[in-house]
Amino acid sequence: MKRLRVVAALAAIFTLLFAGQANATVAATWTWTNVKSHLCLGVSGGHIFEGAKVIQWTCSGAADQGWFDIPLPMEPNEGVLIKNTVIGAGGYHYCLTSPNRVEGAQLVVTGCNEYFPPEQTWHVQWVTNKGYLFTNRKTGWAMAVTGGSTTRGAAIIQWRSNGGLEQHWT
């Protein structure tokens, strides 16, 4: 009887964790627009593959500009995975990723790891009158448009949080 209760409890936990993730992918699809440039977060050339560079581009509703977030299952306030809505050639989603610890490095997309590695986990903070600030869990750097550029195709990089509008998204 005790073994049956343990199995039932584990099944309930598994259902809550993974059913919640499945629902989140359907419920929250976003297009992130930079507050300074009014351009959208997307993937260079619109082609999703391992290591593809993240840029800003004219908001068009293109598939590479669609994103959804998955909160950490056990600690939802500790960060999210930011997944692109396109399913890649390998049959899986690609996540916004910090490629290394170098300030100024361009962000990329890599195959999502459901174990929430720090390089794919982002803290999301609402800043009044500015929008959302995304900070990488591994590096502590904020997602920003390089040099505060308002040009299409400008790289999305990681940079120390400085309060600039190039680091805020709606």
pLDDT of residue 92: 87
For residue 117, pLDDT over 70 is answered with yes
Residues 168, 132 contacting (CB under 8 angstroms):
yes
Give tens-digit pLDDT for 54-98: 999 999 999 999 999 988 887 767 799 999 999 877 788 999 999
For residue 27, pLDDT over 60 is answered with no
29-169, CATH topology level? Trefoil (Acidic Fibroblast Growth Factor, subunit A) (2.80.10)
Cα dihedral 61→111→28→166 (10° resolution): -60
pLDDT of residue 90: 76
